[in-house]
Amino acid sequence: MRTRLALLAGAVMLASCTEGVAPYAPVHAPPAQGPVAPTDVLPPREGSEARPPPAPVEEPEVPPPPVVPRGSATVVDLGEGRRGLLSVAQVDVDLTVSGVRGRHTVSVEFVPPSGLPYERRSAEVDSRVDESRTVRFSLPVAGTAVATSGMSGTWQARFFLDGAPLTAASFTLDP
């Protein structure tokens, strides 16, 4: 029995002997060339076509915030003591527009104290978004229905950009 046991132990030792064989096979990695596409790793199966790798997902470009047009109106000084219907030749109102790009139409509507529109005028502005443009509008007074009809009181100058309300200014004409 001892002999058999010795023979069995010898056979096991010989089977586990690795003399002349390296304990681990050397790993020869290919030179680094970036990530490997999935279709390059496994060959296609018989009867199937290799699929291209999915396209990379790109972040959508965020558009710039919309530009908001702004306007401010200033009544040009009528002169010291010149507010009466008979002493004012005309009323000038300056409109400064910013935040617009390209060609646009600006309009003014002169509204007397009665509240009904009296006169409307328009002008074209052409600018870049980072520029501001000033347009002067005039309301003739001397020799017009404003003076002869006695339209004294507080007037409104309402401004529009392409038909949309933009800003307003007021001025007073004394009797």
Distance CA 173, CA 141 (A): 10
Is pLDDT of 50 > 70? no
96-135 pLDDT, tens digit per residue, is: 999 888 899 999 999 999 999 999 999 999 987 788 999 9
pLDDT value at 153 more than 60: yes
pLDDT at 65: 72
Supply the pLDDT for residue 86. 81
What's the pLDDT tens digit per position in 134-144?
A: 999 999 998 89
Q: Who contacts 100 (Cβ-Cβ below 8 Å, separation ≥6)?
A: 67, 69, 125, 127, 129, 133, 161
pLDDT of residue 152: 92
4-38: string of b/e by CB count within 10 Å (b at 16+)?
A: eeeeeeeeeeeeeeeeeeeeeeeeeeeeeeeeeee
Q: What is the CA radius of gyration of the chain?
A: 44
Three-point CA angle 151, 83, 107, nearest 5°? 65
The Cα 94–Cα 156 span in angstroms is: 13
CB 109, CB 154: distance < 8 Å: no
The mean pLDDT of 61-82, rounded to a whole number, is: 79
- Are 174 and 153 a contacting pair, CB within 8 Å? no
pLDDT over threshold 80, residue 16: no
Identify the band that residue 31 occupies on the pLDDT scale cut at 50, 70 and 90: low
| The pLDDT of residue 128 | 79
Q: Which domains does the chain have, with CATH numbers?
A: 70-173 (2.60.40.1930)
The predicted structure's pLDDT at residue 103: 92
Place of tokens 């040009």: 76
3-state class (DSSP) for residue 164: strand
Which position has the higher pLDDT, 40 or 74?
74
Strands lying side by side in the sheet with 70-75: 70-75, 90-98, 132-140
Whole-number average pLDDT of the chain: 80
Give the rounded percent of residues in the chain with a pLDDT score beyond 90. Answer: 43
Q: Which residue has the higher pLDDT, 131 or 93?
A: 93
Residue 123 confidence (pLDDT): 96
| Residue-by-residue DSSP string for 62-107 | PPPPPPPPEEEEEEPP--TT--BTTT-SEEEEEEEEES--EEEEEE
Please report which confidence band the pLDDT of residue 145 belongs to, taking 50, 70 and 90 as the band edges: very high
Give the residue, 42 or 90, on which the prediction is more confident. Answer: 90
